[in-house]
Structure 1
Protein backbone atom coordinates (compact mmCIF):
# COMPACT_ATOMS: atom_id res chain seq x y z
CA UNK A 1 0.00 0.00 0.00
CA UNK A 2 1.30 3.47 -0.91
CA UNK A 3 1.61 5.36 2.38
CA UNK A 4 1.72 8.67 0.51
CA UNK A 5 -1.74 8.15 -0.96
CA UNK A 6 -4.57 10.24 0.42
CA UNK A 7 -7.70 8.64 1.82
CA UNK A 8 -10.37 7.61 -0.67
CA UNK A 9 -12.65 10.44 0.46
CA UNK A 10 -9.89 13.02 0.08
CA UNK A 11 -9.02 11.74 -3.40
CA UNK A 12 -12.68 11.88 -4.37
CA UNK A 13 -12.89 15.48 -3.15
CA UNK A 14 -9.88 16.49 -5.26
CA UNK A 15 -11.29 14.98 -8.44
CA UNK A 16 -14.77 16.33 -7.65
CA UNK A 17 -13.60 19.93 -7.29
CA UNK A 18 -11.66 19.66 -10.55
CA UNK A 19 -14.70 18.30 -12.39
CA UNK A 20 -17.12 20.82 -10.86
CA UNK A 21 -15.03 23.96 -11.35
CA UNK A 22 -16.84 26.40 -13.62
CA UNK A 23 -16.04 29.70 -15.32
CA UNK A 24 -18.83 31.69 -13.67
CA UNK A 25 -20.61 34.77 -15.01
CA UNK A 26 -23.51 35.09 -12.53
CA UNK A 27 -22.87 36.22 -8.96
CA UNK A 28 -24.51 37.50 -5.80
CA UNK A 29 -23.13 40.77 -4.41
CA UNK A 30 -22.85 39.69 -0.75
CA UNK A 31 -19.26 40.01 0.47
CA UNK A 32 -16.66 37.28 0.72
CA UNK A 33 -15.48 36.80 4.30
CA UNK A 34 -11.92 38.17 4.72
CA UNK A 35 -10.61 34.89 6.09
CA UNK A 36 -12.06 32.99 3.13
CA UNK A 37 -10.49 35.43 0.68
CA UNK A 38 -7.17 35.03 2.44
CA UNK A 39 -7.40 31.23 2.18
CA UNK A 40 -8.03 31.17 -1.57
CA UNK A 41 -5.27 33.71 -2.20
CA UNK A 42 -2.91 31.62 -0.06
CA UNK A 43 -3.85 28.61 -2.20
CA UNK A 44 -2.94 30.60 -5.30
CA UNK A 45 0.40 31.51 -3.76
CA UNK A 46 1.14 27.79 -3.20
CA UNK A 47 1.25 27.22 -6.96
CA UNK A 48 4.34 25.77 -8.62
CA UNK A 49 6.56 28.21 -10.49
CA UNK A 50 9.49 27.64 -12.79
CA UNK A 51 12.74 28.39 -10.99
CA UNK A 52 10.60 29.25 -7.94
CA UNK A 53 10.23 32.73 -9.44
CA UNK A 54 6.66 33.28 -8.13
CA UNK A 55 5.83 35.82 -10.86
CA UNK A 56 2.20 36.42 -9.85
CA UNK A 57 0.89 39.62 -8.31
CA UNK A 58 -2.71 40.18 -7.18
CA UNK A 59 -4.57 43.49 -7.07
CA UNK A 60 -7.95 43.82 -5.37
CA UNK A 61 -10.04 46.46 -7.13
CA UNK A 62 -12.14 48.06 -4.39
CA UNK A 63 -12.75 51.55 -5.78
CA UNK A 64 -16.17 51.54 -7.49
CA UNK A 65 -15.21 54.15 -10.07
CA UNK A 66 -12.09 52.20 -10.97
CA UNK A 67 -14.10 49.01 -11.31
CA UNK A 68 -16.59 50.79 -13.58
CA UNK A 69 -13.75 52.12 -15.74
CA UNK A 70 -12.25 48.65 -16.09
CA UNK A 71 -15.64 47.24 -17.01
CA UNK A 72 -15.98 49.91 -19.70
CA UNK A 73 -12.60 48.83 -21.07
CA UNK A 74 -13.77 45.21 -21.12
CA UNK A 75 -16.96 46.17 -22.93
CA UNK A 76 -14.97 48.07 -25.58
CA UNK A 77 -12.80 45.00 -26.15
CA UNK A 78 -15.89 42.78 -26.28
CA UNK A 79 -17.17 44.85 -29.21
CA UNK A 80 -13.80 44.70 -30.96
CA UNK A 81 -13.68 40.94 -30.43
CA UNK A 82 -17.17 40.58 -31.86
CA UNK A 83 -16.07 42.41 -35.01
CA UNK A 84 -13.16 40.00 -35.36
CA UNK A 85 -15.49 37.00 -35.05
CA UNK A 86 -16.79 37.32 -38.59
CA UNK A 87 -19.78 35.07 -39.13
CA UNK A 88 -20.00 34.28 -35.39
CA UNK A 89 -20.40 37.98 -34.49
CA UNK A 90 -24.06 37.78 -33.51
CA UNK A 91 -23.62 34.50 -31.68
CA UNK A 92 -20.73 35.92 -29.69
CA UNK A 93 -22.71 39.04 -28.76
CA UNK A 94 -25.35 36.84 -27.15
CA UNK A 95 -22.81 35.38 -24.72
CA UNK A 96 -22.41 36.72 -21.19
CA UNK A 97 -18.66 37.17 -20.95
CA UNK A 98 -18.21 38.73 -17.50
CA UNK A 99 -19.88 39.32 -14.15
CA UNK A 100 -18.00 42.42 -13.03
CA UNK A 101 -21.12 44.32 -11.95
CA UNK A 102 -22.30 41.61 -9.58
CA UNK A 103 -19.25 39.88 -8.11
CA UNK A 104 -18.14 40.71 -4.58
CA UNK A 105 -14.43 40.74 -5.37
CA UNK A 106 -12.64 41.89 -8.51
CA UNK A 107 -9.03 40.75 -8.73
CA UNK A 108 -6.42 41.51 -11.36
CA UNK A 109 -3.58 39.02 -11.75
CA UNK A 110 -0.37 40.30 -13.29
CA UNK A 111 3.13 39.14 -14.07
CA UNK A 112 5.65 41.08 -12.03
CA UNK A 113 8.29 43.34 -13.48
CA UNK A 114 11.92 42.23 -13.58
CA UNK A 115 11.10 38.75 -14.88
CA UNK A 116 13.99 38.78 -17.34
CA UNK A 117 16.45 38.16 -14.51
CA UNK A 118 14.91 34.72 -13.93
CA UNK A 119 16.78 32.45 -16.34
CA UNK A 120 16.28 29.10 -14.58
CA UNK A 121 13.80 27.17 -16.73
CA UNK A 122 13.13 30.14 -19.00
CA UNK A 123 16.20 30.41 -21.19
CA UNK A 124 14.51 28.67 -24.12
CA UNK A 125 10.92 29.12 -22.94
CA UNK A 126 10.49 32.61 -21.45
CA UNK A 127 6.72 32.14 -21.46
CA UNK A 128 7.04 29.86 -18.43
CA UNK A 129 6.41 32.91 -16.26
CA UNK A 130 2.91 33.02 -17.76
CA UNK A 131 2.50 29.28 -17.29
CA UNK A 132 3.46 29.62 -13.63
CA UNK A 133 0.96 32.42 -13.03
CA UNK A 134 -1.74 30.37 -14.76
CA UNK A 135 -1.08 27.61 -12.23
CA UNK A 136 -1.69 30.14 -9.45
CA UNK A 137 -5.00 31.13 -11.03
CA UNK A 138 -6.05 27.49 -11.28
CA UNK A 139 -5.17 26.94 -7.61
CA UNK A 140 -7.30 29.94 -6.68
CA UNK A 141 -10.15 28.64 -8.86
CA UNK A 142 -10.16 25.19 -7.30
CA UNK A 143 -9.90 26.55 -3.76
CA UNK A 144 -12.76 28.95 -4.49
CA UNK A 145 -14.94 26.10 -5.78
CA UNK A 146 -14.18 24.05 -2.68
CA UNK A 147 -15.22 27.04 -0.54
CA UNK A 148 -18.46 27.37 -2.52
CA UNK A 149 -17.35 30.54 -4.29
CA UNK A 150 -17.71 31.13 -8.01
CA UNK A 151 -14.92 32.55 -10.13
CA UNK A 152 -14.77 33.80 -13.70
CA UNK A 153 -11.70 34.64 -15.77
CA UNK A 154 -12.05 37.72 -18.00
CA UNK A 155 -9.40 38.22 -20.69
CA UNK A 156 -11.14 40.84 -22.83
CA UNK A 157 -8.91 43.85 -22.18
CA UNK A 158 -5.93 45.74 -23.54
CA UNK A 159 -3.02 44.91 -21.21
CA UNK A 160 -1.36 48.30 -21.61
CA UNK A 161 -4.56 50.16 -20.71
CA UNK A 162 -5.20 48.04 -17.63
CA UNK A 163 -1.58 48.35 -16.52
CA UNK A 164 -1.86 52.14 -16.66
CA UNK A 165 -5.14 52.16 -14.74
CA UNK A 166 -3.57 50.15 -11.93
CA UNK A 167 -0.26 52.05 -11.87
CA UNK A 168 1.81 48.95 -12.64
CA UNK A 169 5.56 49.36 -12.96
CA UNK A 170 7.22 49.14 -16.37
CA UNK A 171 7.61 45.50 -17.36
CA UNK A 172 4.63 44.24 -15.36
CA UNK A 173 1.84 42.69 -17.42
CA UNK A 174 -1.78 42.02 -16.42
CA UNK A 175 -2.98 38.61 -17.58
CA UNK A 176 -6.41 38.16 -15.99
CA UNK A 177 -9.36 39.95 -14.47
CA UNK A 178 -11.01 37.58 -12.00
CA UNK A 179 -14.60 37.89 -10.82
CA UNK A 180 -14.96 36.16 -7.44
CA UNK A 181 -18.00 35.80 -5.24
CA UNK A 182 -20.99 33.85 -4.00
CA UNK A 183 -23.37 32.33 -6.54
CA UNK A 184 -26.91 30.98 -6.45
CA UNK A 185 -25.85 27.83 -8.32
CA UNK A 186 -22.98 26.44 -10.35
CA UNK A 187 -23.57 25.58 -13.99
CA UNK A 188 -24.18 21.88 -14.63
CA UNK A 189 -21.76 22.07 -17.56
CA UNK A 190 -19.31 24.74 -18.76
CA UNK A 191 -21.40 27.73 -19.81
CA UNK A 192 -19.99 27.84 -23.34
CA UNK A 193 -20.92 24.18 -23.78
CA UNK A 194 -24.42 24.82 -22.41
CA UNK A 195 -24.87 27.68 -24.89
CA UNK A 196 -23.60 25.69 -27.85
CA UNK A 197 -20.41 27.67 -28.42
CA UNK A 198 -18.12 24.63 -28.22
CA UNK A 199 -17.84 21.15 -26.74
CA UNK A 200 -15.05 19.50 -24.77
CA UNK A 201 -12.62 17.65 -27.02
CA UNK A 202 -12.17 13.92 -26.65
CA UNK A 203 -9.23 13.12 -24.39
CA UNK A 204 -8.44 10.10 -26.56
CA UNK A 205 -7.69 12.39 -29.48
CA UNK A 206 -5.36 14.54 -27.38
CA UNK A 207 -2.98 11.81 -26.20
CA UNK A 208 -0.15 10.62 -28.40
CA UNK A 209 2.32 7.79 -27.85
CA UNK A 210 5.86 8.50 -29.04
CA UNK A 211 4.51 11.03 -31.57
CA UNK A 212 1.92 13.74 -32.12
CA UNK A 213 -1.66 12.67 -31.27
CA UNK A 214 -3.70 11.54 -34.27
CA UNK A 215 -7.47 11.78 -34.48
CA UNK A 216 -9.23 8.47 -33.98
CA UNK A 217 -10.83 6.68 -36.89
CA UNK A 218 -14.28 7.49 -35.44
CA UNK A 219 -13.44 11.19 -35.35
CA UNK A 220 -12.18 11.09 -38.94
CA UNK A 221 -15.35 9.40 -40.12
CA UNK A 222 -17.59 11.95 -38.37
CA UNK A 223 -15.76 14.97 -39.77
Structure 2
Protein backbone atom coordinates (compact mmCIF):
# COMPACT_ATOMS: atom_id res chain seq x y z
CA UNK A 1 0.00 0.00 0.00
CA UNK A 2 1.20 3.53 -0.64
CA UNK A 3 3.48 4.90 2.06
CA UNK A 4 1.80 8.31 2.15
CA UNK A 5 -1.48 6.80 3.41
CA UNK A 6 -2.30 8.55 6.67
CA UNK A 7 -6.05 8.26 7.29
CA UNK A 8 -7.79 4.95 7.88
CA UNK A 9 -11.58 5.09 8.06
CA UNK A 10 -13.70 2.29 9.46
CA UNK A 11 -17.30 1.40 8.85
CA UNK A 12 -19.04 0.55 12.14
CA UNK A 13 -21.96 -1.89 11.78
CA UNK A 14 -20.69 -5.41 10.98
CA UNK A 15 -17.13 -4.13 10.70
CA UNK A 16 -16.45 -3.02 14.28
CA UNK A 17 -19.48 -4.59 15.97
CA UNK A 18 -22.29 -6.98 15.09
CA UNK A 19 -25.49 -5.46 13.77
CA UNK A 20 -27.17 -7.26 10.86
CA UNK A 21 -27.87 -10.53 12.76
CA UNK A 22 -30.28 -8.64 15.01
CA UNK A 23 -32.29 -7.52 11.97
CA UNK A 24 -32.39 -11.10 10.64
CA UNK A 25 -33.65 -12.37 14.02
CA UNK A 26 -36.40 -9.76 14.16
CA UNK A 27 -37.40 -10.45 10.57
CA UNK A 28 -38.11 -14.05 11.59
CA UNK A 29 -40.08 -12.90 14.65
CA UNK A 30 -42.04 -10.55 12.42
CA UNK A 31 -42.85 -13.43 10.06
CA UNK A 32 -44.25 -15.36 13.01
CA UNK A 33 -46.42 -12.40 14.02
CA UNK A 34 -48.05 -12.02 10.59
CA UNK A 35 -47.85 -15.55 9.16
CA UNK A 36 -51.65 -15.80 8.95
CA UNK A 37 -51.56 -13.32 6.05
CA UNK A 38 -48.70 -14.67 3.91
CA UNK A 39 -45.81 -17.10 3.84
CA UNK A 40 -42.32 -16.08 4.96
CA UNK A 41 -41.00 -15.39 1.48
CA UNK A 42 -43.83 -13.03 0.61
CA UNK A 43 -43.54 -11.32 3.99
CA UNK A 44 -39.80 -10.74 3.63
CA UNK A 45 -40.07 -9.67 -0.02
CA UNK A 46 -42.76 -7.15 0.87
CA UNK A 47 -40.78 -5.91 3.87
CA UNK A 48 -37.68 -5.35 1.74
CA UNK A 49 -39.72 -3.50 -0.87
CA UNK A 50 -41.15 -1.20 1.79
CA UNK A 51 -37.76 -0.63 3.44
CA UNK A 52 -36.12 0.39 0.18
CA UNK A 53 -39.10 2.51 -0.88
CA UNK A 54 -39.03 4.51 2.33
CA UNK A 55 -35.25 4.96 2.71
CA UNK A 56 -35.45 8.55 1.41
CA UNK A 57 -38.04 9.28 4.12
CA UNK A 58 -36.96 7.22 7.13
CA UNK A 59 -33.29 6.67 6.36
CA UNK A 60 -31.36 3.64 7.61
CA UNK A 61 -31.76 2.05 11.01
CA UNK A 62 -34.11 0.35 13.44
CA UNK A 63 -36.81 3.02 13.48
CA UNK A 64 -37.29 2.85 9.71
CA UNK A 65 -37.21 -0.95 9.97
CA UNK A 66 -40.06 -0.93 12.50
CA UNK A 67 -42.16 1.48 10.44
CA UNK A 68 -41.62 -0.72 7.38
CA UNK A 69 -42.71 -3.80 9.34
CA UNK A 70 -45.90 -2.01 10.38
CA UNK A 71 -46.56 -0.90 6.79
CA UNK A 72 -45.96 -4.46 5.58
CA UNK A 73 -48.35 -5.91 8.18
CA UNK A 74 -51.05 -3.46 7.12
CA UNK A 75 -50.46 -4.15 3.43
CA UNK A 76 -50.52 -7.95 3.70
CA UNK A 77 -53.52 -8.00 6.01
CA UNK A 78 -55.49 -5.49 3.94
CA UNK A 79 -55.47 -3.22 7.02
CA UNK A 80 -56.95 -5.96 9.21
CA UNK A 81 -53.90 -6.56 11.43
CA UNK A 82 -54.76 -6.09 15.10
CA UNK A 83 -53.57 -3.32 17.35
CA UNK A 84 -52.08 -6.00 19.57
CA UNK A 85 -49.86 -7.23 16.72
CA UNK A 86 -48.81 -3.68 15.87
CA UNK A 87 -47.81 -3.24 19.52
CA UNK A 88 -45.71 -6.42 19.38
CA UNK A 89 -43.97 -5.18 16.24
CA UNK A 90 -43.13 -1.92 18.00
CA UNK A 91 -41.81 -3.91 20.95
CA UNK A 92 -39.40 -5.76 18.64
CA UNK A 93 -37.88 -2.43 17.71
CA UNK A 94 -37.69 -1.16 21.29
CA UNK A 95 -35.89 -4.32 22.35
CA UNK A 96 -33.45 -4.08 19.44
CA UNK A 97 -32.64 -0.49 20.38
CA UNK A 98 -31.50 -1.71 23.79
CA UNK A 99 -29.32 -4.63 22.64
CA UNK A 100 -25.73 -4.66 23.92
CA UNK A 101 -22.91 -3.82 21.52
CA UNK A 102 -20.83 -6.90 20.70
CA UNK A 103 -17.43 -6.09 19.22
CA UNK A 104 -16.12 -8.27 16.41
CA UNK A 105 -13.05 -10.29 17.31
CA UNK A 106 -9.77 -8.43 16.87
CA UNK A 107 -11.26 -4.95 16.57
CA UNK A 108 -9.88 -3.34 19.70
CA UNK A 109 -6.42 -4.90 19.33
CA UNK A 110 -6.21 -3.66 15.75
CA UNK A 111 -7.36 -0.13 16.54
CA UNK A 112 -4.91 0.06 19.44
CA UNK A 113 -2.04 -1.03 17.17
CA UNK A 114 -2.95 1.54 14.50
CA UNK A 115 -3.57 4.48 16.81
CA UNK A 116 -0.62 6.85 16.85
CA UNK A 117 0.60 5.74 13.45
CA UNK A 118 -2.49 6.79 11.50
CA UNK A 119 -5.40 9.16 11.91
CA UNK A 120 -8.39 6.90 12.58
CA UNK A 121 -11.88 7.88 11.49
CA UNK A 122 -15.24 6.14 11.90
CA UNK A 123 -17.78 6.59 9.09
CA UNK A 124 -21.16 4.95 9.57
CA UNK A 125 -24.75 5.50 8.49
CA UNK A 126 -28.07 4.99 10.20
CA UNK A 127 -30.34 6.62 12.74
CA UNK A 128 -28.38 9.33 14.55
CA UNK A 129 -29.61 8.49 18.06
CA UNK A 130 -29.07 4.75 17.69
CA UNK A 131 -25.64 5.10 16.10
CA UNK A 132 -24.53 7.47 18.86
CA UNK A 133 -25.78 4.94 21.43
CA UNK A 134 -23.75 2.14 19.87
CA UNK A 135 -20.66 4.32 19.57
CA UNK A 136 -20.82 5.16 23.27
CA UNK A 137 -21.53 1.58 24.36
CA UNK A 138 -18.77 0.16 22.17
CA UNK A 139 -16.01 1.82 24.16
CA UNK A 140 -14.18 2.56 20.88
CA UNK A 141 -14.68 6.31 20.74
CA UNK A 142 -11.24 6.93 22.28
CA UNK A 143 -9.48 5.53 19.19
CA UNK A 144 -11.01 7.92 16.65
CA UNK A 145 -10.00 11.47 15.77
CA UNK A 146 -13.24 12.01 13.85
CA UNK A 147 -16.61 10.23 13.78
CA UNK A 148 -19.07 10.81 10.95
CA UNK A 149 -22.66 9.55 10.80
CA UNK A 150 -23.40 9.83 7.10
CA UNK A 151 -26.79 10.18 5.47
CA UNK A 152 -25.67 8.05 2.53
CA UNK A 153 -22.39 6.28 1.82
CA UNK A 154 -21.97 7.07 -1.85
CA UNK A 155 -19.38 8.93 -3.95
CA UNK A 156 -20.65 12.39 -3.03
CA UNK A 157 -20.90 11.42 0.64
CA UNK A 158 -17.30 10.24 0.73
CA UNK A 159 -16.08 13.25 -1.23
CA UNK A 160 -17.74 15.51 1.34
CA UNK A 161 -16.02 13.54 4.11
CA UNK A 162 -12.64 13.93 2.40
CA UNK A 163 -13.26 17.66 2.06
CA UNK A 164 -13.98 17.96 5.78
CA UNK A 165 -10.87 15.94 6.59
CA UNK A 166 -8.90 18.06 4.10
CA UNK A 167 -7.29 15.05 2.48
CA UNK A 168 -6.93 13.68 -1.03
CA UNK A 169 -8.34 10.23 -1.94
CA UNK A 170 -4.90 8.68 -2.46
CA UNK A 171 -4.16 9.14 1.25
CA UNK A 172 -7.45 7.61 2.38
CA UNK A 173 -8.27 3.97 3.17
CA UNK A 174 -11.82 2.79 3.89
CA UNK A 175 -12.32 -0.48 5.79
CA UNK A 176 -15.74 -2.11 5.71
CA UNK A 177 -17.94 -5.13 5.07
CA UNK A 178 -20.27 -3.71 2.40
CA UNK A 179 -19.09 -3.63 -1.20
CA UNK A 180 -21.94 -1.28 -2.06
CA UNK A 181 -21.46 1.23 0.75
CA UNK A 182 -17.85 0.91 1.90
CA UNK A 183 -15.79 -0.24 -1.07
CA UNK A 184 -17.09 0.67 -4.52
CA UNK A 185 -17.79 4.39 -3.86
CA UNK A 186 -14.34 4.88 -2.33
CA UNK A 187 -12.59 3.16 -5.23
CA UNK A 188 -14.61 5.30 -7.63
CA UNK A 189 -13.23 8.53 -6.19
CA UNK A 190 -9.64 7.26 -6.16
CA UNK A 191 -9.28 6.02 -2.59
CA UNK A 192 -8.11 2.73 -1.14
CA UNK A 193 -10.50 0.11 0.28
CA UNK A 194 -10.15 -3.00 2.44
CA UNK A 195 -13.10 -5.37 2.24
CA UNK A 196 -13.80 -7.61 5.24
CA UNK A 197 -16.94 -9.65 4.46
CA UNK A 198 -19.43 -10.32 7.24
CA UNK A 199 -21.33 -13.59 7.27
CA UNK A 200 -24.72 -11.97 6.66
CA UNK A 201 -25.64 -8.96 4.53
CA UNK A 202 -28.87 -7.03 4.03
CA UNK A 203 -30.31 -7.81 0.59
CA UNK A 204 -30.31 -4.13 -0.36
CA UNK A 205 -26.53 -4.00 0.18
CA UNK A 206 -25.71 -6.95 -2.07
CA UNK A 207 -23.95 -6.16 -5.35
CA UNK A 208 -21.62 -7.94 -7.76
CA UNK A 209 -17.92 -7.93 -6.93
CA UNK A 210 -16.11 -4.90 -8.40
CA UNK A 211 -13.47 -5.32 -11.06
CA UNK A 212 -9.97 -6.11 -9.83
CA UNK A 213 -8.19 -3.00 -8.62
CA UNK A 214 -4.76 -2.53 -7.06
CA UNK A 215 -6.33 -0.14 -4.55
CA UNK A 216 -8.64 -2.83 -3.09
CA UNK A 217 -7.70 -5.48 -0.56
CA UNK A 218 -9.85 -8.45 0.48
CA UNK A 219 -9.27 -9.61 4.05
CA UNK A 220 -10.62 -12.46 6.15
CA UNK A 221 -10.51 -10.52 9.41
CA UNK A 222 -9.73 -7.06 10.69
CA UNK A 223 -6.47 -8.35 12.20
CA UNK A 224 -5.12 -8.90 8.66
CA UNK A 225 -5.26 -5.15 8.05
CA UNK A 226 -2.01 -4.75 10.00
CA UNK A 227 -0.14 -6.86 7.46
CA UNK A 228 -1.23 -4.96 4.32
CA UNK A 229 -0.69 -1.31 5.28
Fold agreement, TM-score > 0.5: no
- TM-score under structure 2 length normalisation: 0.25
Q: Which has the higher contact order (CA 8 A, sep 6+)?
A: 1
Higher helix share: 2
